[in-house]
Structure 1
């Protein structure tokens, strides 16, 4: 054949004719990405180029017209080759396919006559090259981690029907030769991929996990104090509510937030006070807050029957807590003399 083709990282594919004495190429095609591989199809009139995440078919006879573009890969296509696939009934029954591999770890079989991908196979590492034997019985794929995957065509048919890929391939990794250990003084040491395993003496720098903030924390960061208080009151978590209230006290914004609450938001606050103000863990803050809320929102409470109902419930809770404390003091008064007598003995 007197024609040959070249591809370059300048996105161009050039067709050369050895019979032409001129040093210029006879045809130039722009692939649109750095070209990784280029091959002639068996007919001689079509050209396949690989670059970027696409494989393109060009009609050389028509002056470099784009016929098909297969963009099934997610990353750069590194190598392509031609092969025949099909049943074991003769060469005429086998169909021509373009096999492509890429840095995404996929091998794809492309039927350019039907403009579709007929088969996809996943490998555990980025793929750099692919080769097909002349008798279409074996293909070999090279990976970035130094392992070769050789696939040999099966000759025995199984009883159950299988897919084209199951009938055709048996994957067997070729043993990898012992690789030289990379040292920090080597240039390749700094070109390692994310899949490289650290050595025992390596120091690993881990990214800290991003803390997911709750809604009230986000509002506090934006200084939207009243909305933060309302948000945390709706969460029904007393620990969070007390934490937000203490933060608002430190910012001197708690009473201002309470004064700006509407009737429904004020009901949420009274429900929380009724449930937790008598608990010893929270009473030091909540009892004082309850007193100030009653003083500040007295007019609103008088105008609303629902708020009056909350105040009655709150009053009953406080009276019940007072009775319990009085009973405990009476019991303490009875037990204290007995403990003193027991201590003297």
Structure 2
């Protein structure tokens, strides 16, 4: 059932509290954050947890693994505390991975060395130095206790067997660094996948290593690849896009474009029904894996390099959200128990009703019980429900044939994803609340940059003037700052070529300087008052 097209909601100042969908409530229930700083001051490049064995054994490991600097750290899934540290590396360590039985750990490093460690004693069980360039990926075969793979900056993918001294197979075909890879799950575990900076994702068959069995072309260097549990669908991130690739059909099914900067890490959650992405824009976003719509989002204080949803128990329920950042901080948020199962059932029923086109009927039933509830599709998937977090849902072919006659021109352009046109129409209205509403909607859709790109001198002037006129107003200042930063990033090289634009930029600079001066005076006044307060009190 197609979603009803609604006008852009006008921003009201001050904004009233917004209700949250069960999906958002669920992800916001990961609380009691714990932060660990890397002792090496390096970024957290990799987070992993042993996957349950596909050979019939349960996963007995109570650890998840963090790679930072020249250390591999093991944290307890029960206490969230650092339990063990392995430091026997000559240089920066990458991709620490525990075998599914939790007894052996493997990692590569900057020198190209691959080492396997006994987890209990931390003794080195095996060392391979066949590769001479950094090895960023090591992965265990999910069905074999001695088989593992590696991906290196020498543009090769290699298969290893723990008892042997040399690689079992070498796969050549990439033309640049290979920074991501893994085994396909299930019966396809003899198939390897790799993603390279040559902008390709390649599948390899261990039985025929001479050439890749399938190749997908991406739009930029591939940062991470991830296989869905079915083994027939791959996810690959490159720059700010995540491609959904169908192995059976040999083509891309969907392209997710909800981040503003490079998507550095991918992982699955909720038993494979949710995709979680982390980007260099500091955003973590959650997608349902049927229509690939954003269902939740959160913001972190630094670029995200790695993330993992840690599971626990026989049912493999989501337990922790662990995020590694470029500033060396590791954030661990834990799901509160108690109402977890009730909320999980509620959000699953809601998602099933949404995908089946029965969301209105579902909401009517919920409204009778709860008196007041969010109203359907818009409440769940419009970015404004994230209280400032970026989100954008573009569903092609889902527009109604009869457009609402009450819709304004900027509304029509917005819903047709003509973002630049929508902003220009709002500016032409010369009404500050309308412009603010459109800019806020663009920010929520992660489309603000797209609306400001590819402008000439004529179309750039109204936006600069609007920022100049409103940057000193408290309610408008945040959005003015954001669009100013984006415009400077896009057009800083071309400002000098237009005297009109240069004058507007200078005026904006002077206005900002005035505001900075007022802030400094306010701080001085505050300091003097704080000196007087103790004397008055005495």
TM-score, normalization: structure 2?
Answer: 0.29
Bigger helix share: 1
The structure with more strand, counted as a fraction of residues: 2
Task: Report the TM-score, using the length of structure 1 for normalisation.
Answer: 0.44
Question: Max radius of gyration: which structure?
Answer: 1
